Structure 1
Amino acid sequence: MQAYQQIIIGVDLSPESTQVIERARQLGQLCSAKLHLVHVLEPLTFAYGGDIPMDLTEIQTQLQAQAEQQLHKLASQYGIAQSDCHLKVGQPAAELHHIAGELNADLIVVGSHGRQGLALLLGSTANGVLHGANRDVLAVRVEESD
């Protein structure tokens, strides 16, 4: 088995993201792998189903700028180059699969909140990434911040 060379770290920019980054960083050090930090921002039209009769472009642009700033701040805290930060817009699992393919990544690392039952089946990004992946996926169990 060959060591991981390219690791995608999917983060939601919550305080728990640091736990996911730390676990991926430790693994990356063991394998001498390159780390890529990825955040996927869902379009507001996804969140509201397009039912609101208004132009959300300016709000979406502001959200993207804030997310990019947070992503770069996280990256600098963990020594990840800004060129290895990727902000995508779309459905998180699909976008993580897409960028993993673009970068020829051999591992995707995401956080898992340990939800059970319907919450796991219906809405877990980690579950979506796992079930559509053609590469290894590591779901890091995160502890909720108080």
Structure 2
Amino acid sequence: MTVMFKSVLVAVDGSEIGHRALEEALAVARAMEASVHAVHVVQTATYPSLTLNQLEPPDIAQQALLDALDREADEILADVEQEAAAIGVPLTVHKRWGHPGAEIIALARELGADLTVVGSHGKGRLGRFFLGSTSSYAVDHAASTVMVVRGEPDAS
């Protein structure tokens, strides 16, 4: 029995492992003629003083941070679009704010993605302390298949 994927969602964060996850997702999508969606989640939990559900607008410092994070997300997604276009794979980008794992899984359900591709770890403010937390969340909560793309082994 051959497994066929019709819709692939890949999480991208601008890291090397995120790039490798994108390459794998594009290869699968191309081979199976599947639609491809890329999502970048701005991890707001990394910034405890930043809450997006406040009744009052953000102060100047918070707004500057929001703007910088928004620009970074746009740059990452623009790079993803260019890479997909260069190999002729149509791709739709999505930007979300919040907990990466929860937002990735929510979008996968919204899209009806039957394959979600995530890196084994990406970039984050707390470094290796949260190594793999997003991929673990995706594996534990996904309603469909999750592909975890591993990074290069540590030399240590």
- TM, length-normalised to structure 1: 0.80
3-state DSSP of counterpart to 2:76: helix
- Name segments (4+ residues, structure 1) moved above 4 Å: none
The residue that corresponds to 2:96 in the other structure is: 88
Tell me which amino acid in the other structure corresponds to 1:12: D
Tell me which amino acid in the other structure corresponds to 2:64: E
The residue that corresponds to 1:104 in the other structure is: 112
Relative to structure 1, the CA distance from residue 145 to residue 70 in structure 2 (aligned partners, 3 Å threshold; closer, same or farther) is farther
Task: Report 1:25-44 matches (<5 A).
Answer: 25-43=26-44
Of 130, 141, 144, the residue aligned with 1:135 is 144
The residue that corresponds to 2:49 in the other structure is: 50
Aligned-residue offset at 1:106: 0.6
Give the gaps of 5 or more residues in structure 2. Answer: 51-57, 122-127
- Residues 7, 34 of structure 1: 8 Å contact kept: yes
Aligned-residue offset at 1:92: 0.5
Note the aligned Cα RMSD (angstroms). Answer: 2.7
Aligned-residue offset at 1:108: 0.4
1:77 aligns with 2:83: yes
When the two structures are aligned, how many residues end up with a matched partner? 136
Relative to structure 1, the CA distance from residue 94 to residue 22 in structure 2 (aligned partners, 3 Å threshold; closer, same or farther) is same
Tell me which amino acid in the other structure corresponds to 1:87: K
Range with bigger deviation, 24-33 or 126-135: 24-33
- Residues 25, 35 of structure 1: 8 Å contact kept: yes
Q: What is the alpha-carbon distance in structure 1 between the residues aligned to residue 132 and residue 18 of structure 2? A: 18
Tell me which amino acid in the other structure corresponds to 1:103: L
The residue that corresponds to 2:53 in the other structure is: none
Give the gaps of 5 or more residues in structure 1. Answer: none
Q: What is the alpha-carbon distance in structure 1 between the residues aligned to residue 94 and residue 152 of structure 2? A: 25
